[in-house]
Amino acid sequence: MDGTGPSPAGQSAAGQGNDRLALLALISAFGFIFISRGVADSWMVFLLPVEQDFGATRQQTAGVYSVYMLTTGLSAPLAGLILRQFGARLNYGLGVLLIGCAMFLAAQASAIGELYLYVGILASMGISAIGIVPASALIGRWYRHRMSVAMGVAYSGLGTGSLLMVPLAQWLIEWQGWRSTYTTMGCGLAILLVVTMLLPWQRLAGATPLRGRGADGGTDPAGGGISLRQAVRRPEFLGLALSFTFTGFSMYTVIVQVVPFLVESGYAPLKAATAFGLAGMLSVGGVISTGWLSHRYGLRPIALLSFTCTFAGIFCLLFLSYHRLEWLLVCFVGIFGIAQGARGPIVATLSNRLFTGPSAAAIYGVIYACSNIGAGIGAWGSGYLHDISSSYRPALLVAAAGIVMAALPFLLLQAFRAPVPIQPAVPSHPEKSP
């Protein structure tokens, strides 16, 4: 050491304190993402009983999830604004409160239209407040080096939430009905609200970013970086936005219909929900390993590999619609599941590397919103295609085409091969003659 800093003992104590806070920040980000995804994906097992109770069409019930995805995407910038203006405690506390209220209200719904309001809008605003965008801001304050690995751990909360909460929701529905299950979820969120308010948010959100090397070993520029207005004019931003839009569209064209598809194919509801949860479990390992693999082999090749796995998984499900073969279901769960969510850490890391500075979170927030908008369109479109064709095959073919479109920016844009920070354009002024 150069002798100008604190004593070794002081440095050790500070380092240990920072390590504990950094770990708590990562665990908190993971936990809230776990809750947000688990609550959101539980609609997959509510879909059929709600449909039967209200005599609704598949398009109407899938539309609830479509509205949820659209609202989550559109409210993501609002969550970022609340986080920046009022702090993490209010942002996360308000998010948990909104989700809990939505669950209690959904249990009392008397028409499918009310679920559009409670689950599609109210819950989605709360989920946005505790989801990926605020988590990326929280993690970014502590993890500058190997950010893709930290984001991979946080993103694994998506798959873990599906793995545990979807089968649990199915079991509760079979035991006590869908209305009582929503009430049970609301009670759990009331307990979570108390825990949320007790967390040391001021210390978690007030960390000083680590100095030196930037995310994943890149340099940490001292300049102001690029603004959101400048970023949206860049082909790199357009490529990430389009890739995330088509990814969300394709994934949720499939995901929303997996459980009903398997049930109508002759599988028991609990087995169908378990298969869905197992795909989510595999996504945990896939997302975590994506961070490590992309750090070792590069973001672009791992992204293209994940698109290939998703494409193959969709065709396994398509073939399953013709022949009910157990190995096709196993292949779908394995191939589709391991790639599910894998693009999240890759796109977050690419955005972090390309767009630096104070607007980095806002830029990623808009890119993330594109994913949710695409997912909302895909969720609604899957129900529409099912209703007009009485088949799942058209939706699966459209989803496969969407995955091809999502992969194109990674194939065509040179900047995704070796991303470097984009500097704001400096207007040139001709020198004045003396």
The pLDDT, as a whole number, for residue 333 is 87
Residue 358 is assigned to a structural domain of this protein: yes
Give the number of residues written for the chain: 434
Return mean pLDDT, the chain. Answer: 80
Residue 11 is assigned to a structural domain of this protein: no
The pLDDT, as a whole number, for residue 356 is 74
Residue 424 is assigned to a structural domain of this protein: no
User: Which is more confident, 114 or 292?
Assistant: 114
Q: What is the mean pLDDT of residues 208-216?
A: 39
Q: Helical H runs in 265-390? A: 269-297, 299-320, 326-331, 337-339, 343-354, 360-389
Query: Minimum mean pLDDT among 29-43, 178-192, 225-239, 277-291: which range?
Result: 277-291
- Residue 175 sits in a domain of what CATH number? 1.20.1250.20
The pLDDT, as a whole number, for residue 309 is 92
pLDDT in tens, 346-356: 888 788 778 87
Q: What is the mean pLDDT of residues 2-25?
A: 55
Q: Check whether 427 has a pLDDT greater than 80.
A: no
The pLDDT, as a whole number, for residue 138 is 78
Return d(Cα 48, Cα 64) in angstroms, integer. 13
Return d(Cα 295, Cα 168) in angstroms, integer. 35
Residue 223 is assigned to a structural domain of this protein: yes
**3-state SS, one letter per residue, for the chain:** CCCCCCCHHHHHHHHHHHHHHHHHHHHHHHHHHHHHHHHHHCHHHHHHHHHHHHCCCHHHHHHHHHHHHHHHHHHHHHHHHHHHHHCHHHHHHHHHHHHHHHHHHHHCCCCHHHHHHHHHHHHHHHHHHCCHHHHHHHHHCCCCCCHHHHHHHHHHHHHHHHHHHHHHHHHHHHHHHHHHHHHHHHHHHHHHHHHHHHCCHHHHHCCCCCCCECHHHCECCCCCCCCHHHHCCCHHHHHHHHHHHHHHHHHHHHHHHHHHHHHHCCCCHHHHHHHHHHHHHHHHHHHHHHHHHHHHHCHHHHHHHHHHHHHHHHHHHHHHCCCCCHHHHHHHHHHHHHHCCCHHHHHHHHHHHHCCCCCHHHHHHHHHHHHHHHHHHHHHHHHHHHHHHCCCHHHHHHHHHHHHHHHHHHHHCHHHCCCCCCCCCCCCCCCCCC
pLDDT in tens, 355-365: 876 677 678 77
Residue 212 pLDDT level (bands cut at 50, 70, 90): very low
Residue 271 pLDDT level (bands cut at 50, 70, 90): confident
Number of domains in the chain: 1
Q: Is the pTM of this model over 0.85?
A: no
Query: Minimum mean pLDDT among 6-15, 120-129, 276-285: which range?
Result: 6-15
Q: What is the mean pLDDT of residues 226-250?
A: 89
In 10-139, beta strands by DSSP E: none
Q: Check whether 6 has a pLDDT greater than 70.
A: no
pLDDT in tens, 98-111: 999 999 999 998 88
Q: What is the mean pLDDT of residues 289-313?
A: 85
Residue 149 is assigned to a structural domain of this protein: yes
Contact 288, 146 (CB under 8 A): no
* DSSP secondary structure letter of residue 127: H
Judged by DSSP in three states, 374 sits in helix
* DSSP secondary structure letter of residue 415: G
Q: What is the dihedral of CA 274, 278, 281, 286, to 10 degrees?
A: -160
Q: Check whether 332 has a pLDDT greater than 60.
A: yes
Q: Check whether 214 has a pLDDT greater than 70.
A: no
Domain span at residue 404?
22-416
pLDDT in tens, 307-325: 999 999 999 988 988 888 8
Residue 375 pLDDT level (bands cut at 50, 70, 90): confident
User: Which is more confident, 401 or 16?
Assistant: 401
Judged by DSSP in three states, 219 sits in strand
Percent of the chain with pLDDT over 70: 86
Residue 140 is assigned to a structural domain of this protein: yes
